[in-house]
Structure 1
Amino acid sequence: MRDINIKATEYFEAVARLGSVTKAAGELGVSPSAVSQQIRLLEKQFGVKLFRREKRKLILTLDGDRLFQTTTQAFSAIRNARNAISRQREGRSLTIRVSPSFGVRWLGPRIYGFLSENPDWNIRIDATPDFTSFEMEVVDFDLRYGLGGWAGLTELCVMHDLVLPLCSPDYLKHLRSISADPAEQLQHARLIDSVKTLFRWDLWLASNKIQIPNLSYPLRFDRSSMSIELAKQGGGLALDSVNLCLPELRRGELVPFCPEIPVIDFPAYWLVCPPRHFSRRIVNRFAEWLGNESDEHERVARNTLKDLGCSFRPETGSGLIQVSPSAL
């Protein structure tokens, strides 16, 4: 093979296949003169003419046609192999879009478990509040926060949300020093508003028949992770998801404001994608892993809340605020 000019052969194949030196030069990314030079070198090596011109057209000679039949099959096979390798490499990747707080606080601490079980796969996690436009973007699936009902997409409920007011032990002690009545405590509490949650203070207060004159929020955040962090530091009372702060709750850094008021319990975290995406083995594998992780998490979360004296109040769509859901 060392006496074969591979470069010249590649240029010849392109010219013969496209029927033009100019078109071949465009495909190869070189000048037409460079292509012509390689053709002359190949003809000199073989000692025959490979093309003849007829009315400004390039026509393969008999020898040229014989060489073209062989080279085009060989280069076509190489191109097919290259494409197959590229598809295989790309097929070993998984792209996930997830809401920022859920990605950092829940998925982030667990994702290594999936990676260790699937070491040959490349994982990309895009933490953003924007849902994927699956017809325009290359994303395998979203982990969405919302009430479901996304038309044309497969939805798998990953986890229920467990929502209740939370604060630091010292802040709770401060509120109880004001009054033994939770309703009166709330009137003096600094309420932290997570503006993109589905179950916010106004709905929670109304559902528990608690009235606060001139309800206001001195602290408002568009990320639950910020609300939870401030509550942990003693900055106020956050109405938020146990799913995002279970470690703090188990360590006692956060405590339920009033265990006697039931925890709001509703399906809120979903794996969402077009049905065709489940034809990928890795998507099914991740969905199975995610289901196992979320089942274990919910078991621990519910047991932790029960140990703290809490009960649960299931809610469905009619009991929840009907807003356009956005990411935590």
Structure 2
Amino acid sequence: MHRSLPPLRALRAFEAAARHLSFAQAAAELGVTPGAVSHQIKALEDRVGAPLFHRLTRALRLTEAGEAALPLLTEGFDRLADGAARLQLRDDENLLTVSVSPGFGSLWLVPRLDRFRRQHPKIEVRIDGTDRLVDVANGEADVAIRYGPGGYTNVQSQRLFAMRATPVCSPGLLARGLPLQSPADLAHHTLLHVEWKEAEGSWRTWLLAAGATDVDPFKGPRFTKEEMAVRAALEGEGIALIGDRMAADHLASGRLVCPFSADLSTPLVFAYFLLSPLNWQDDPKITCFSNWVLAEAKLVGDLGSERH
């Protein structure tokens, strides 16, 4: 079947730039110059006949067309990467494939992964960054980490940690002088939204719990990926409402701060779970990773487990 597609290089440049909201970071990821990324995106915009970014003075924002295309393209490149990996995959007993959402991977797992490699240097880790469902029971990945309500079937399910929705922003934003002493002061600030959290952990839910009924809970840009909202917060573009565990490293380093007291964070019903085959203890590499990630999670949250 013939598929009429724009050049793959242009699609890759757009997807990377849209995910990072930065031509420079996209260029670093792709191994090219920011000018090359800009050229490819301009060519793509000319081909589709519509702008894909709002180019602001110090930031990028996706247009409606760009927002609609990004999750589909990200999933498409994830699937291409999976397919290519399957062509090359060795029957290697030391290769461990870990499926995680891109947000959890970049914000929590990857910053800690070097500790696992130092403890288990013979295990080769492959991180499959995707939000799509994977069949751990049938070996599509060795283990998966997913955010949800629990109750997973046909797998070993162990809770890593629950979270609390916490407003975070850059210290530079506080230094600008706009008041931010109470939740009511959010009326003077930009709210950064994560679209997939509208059902839980939304600004509307948090503002109601905080009693800030005069603040518009829908104002501000929306992001399809949590890590994009965190990046915007780091750049001082507004205040993001993020699970506290996902912001833990940035908070510890001082790159992000909580403008309000911990009492104003709200518990989230969903949690992160480690999913592995029911016979996971028969595979040494899965056992090593499971024990390690559960120990890491214990440092930042309460532990629980369930088996179905």
TM over 0.5: yes
Tell me the SS of whatever aligns to 1:244: coil
CA contact (8 A) 2:144 2:276 kept: yes
Counterpart-to-counterpart distance in 1, 2:186 and 2:163: 23
Amino acid at match of 1:277: W
Tell me the SS of whatever aligns to 1:275: coil
Counterparts of residues 180-219 of structure 1 (less than 5 Å): 180=181, 182-197=182-197, 198-212=200-214, 214-219=216-221
Verify: 1:268 aligned to 2:271, yes or no: yes
Aligned position for 1:242: 244
Q: Structure 2 unaligned segments of length 5 or more: list them.
A: 1-89, 303-308
- Note the C-alpha offset of 1:221: 0.9
Counterparts of residues 142-291 of structure 1 (less than 5 Å): 142-174=144-176, 177-178=178-179, 180=181, 182-197=182-197, 198-212=200-214, 214-259=216-261, 261-266=263-268, 268-291=271-294
Counterpart-to-counterpart distance in 2, 1:290 and 1:136: 22
CA contact (8 A) 2:160 2:301 kept: no
Amino acid at match of 1:226: M
Larger radius of gyration: 1
- Note the C-alpha offset of 1:259: 1.0
- Note the C-alpha offset of 1:160: 2.4
Tell me the SS of whatever aligns to 1:159: strand
Counterpart-to-counterpart distance in 2, 1:94 and 1:234: 37
- Note the C-alpha offset of 1:227: 0.8
Equivalences, count: 210
Amino acid at match of 1:236: G
Amino acid at match of 2:151: G
1:179/1:145 Cα in 2 relative to 1: closer, same or farther (>3 Å)? closer
Tell me the SS of whatever aligns to 2:196: coil
Root-mean-square deviation over aligned CA pairs:
2.5
Counterpart-to-counterpart distance in 1, 2:272 and 2:262: 26
Amino acid at match of 1:270: F
Counterpart-to-counterpart distance in 2, 1:246 and 1:269: 15
Amino acid at match of 1:184: A
CA contact (8 A) 2:155 2:276 kept: yes
Deviation by residue 1:197-228 (Cα, 9 ceiling, x = unmatched):
34111121222332146532321112211111
Higher helix fraction: Structure 1 or Structure 2?
1
1:246/1:260 Cα in 2 relative to 1: closer, same or farther (>3 Å)? closer
Q: Structure 1 unaligned segments of length 5 or more: list them.
A: 1-87, 300-328
Could you tell me which of 78, 94, 97 is aligned with 2:96? 94
Deviation by residue 1:158-197 (Cα, 9 ceiling, x = unmatched):
12223210112232354x64475x2431222210001223
1:213/1:146 Cα in 2 relative to 1: closer, same or farther (>3 Å)? same
Verify: 1:112 aligned to 2:110, yes or no: no
After TM superposition, which residue ranges in structure 1, 4 or more long, deviate above 6 angstroms?
none
Amino acid at match of 1:282: K
Amino acid at match of 1:290: V
TM-score, normalised via structure 2 length = 0.61
- Note the C-alpha offset of 1:286: 1.0
- Note the C-alpha offset of 1:136: 5.7
Deviation by residue 1:68-125 (Cα, 9 ceiling, x = unmatched):
xxxxxxxxxxxxxxxxxxxx95322211101112112221122122222222222211
Amino acid at match of 1:220: R
Q: Choose 284-293 or 205-214, whichever is displaced more.
A: 205-214
1:133/1:226 Cα in 2 relative to 1: closer, same or farther (>3 Å)? same
Counterpart-to-counterpart distance in 1, 2:139 and 2:297: 27
Aligned position for 1:131: 133
Counterpart-to-counterpart distance in 1, 2:120 and 2:183: 51
CA contact (8 A) 1:186 1:212 kept: no
- Note the C-alpha offset of 1:265: 3.9
Counterpart-to-counterpart distance in 2, 1:260 and 1:273: 33
Counterpart-to-counterpart distance in 2, 1:208 and 1:115: 42
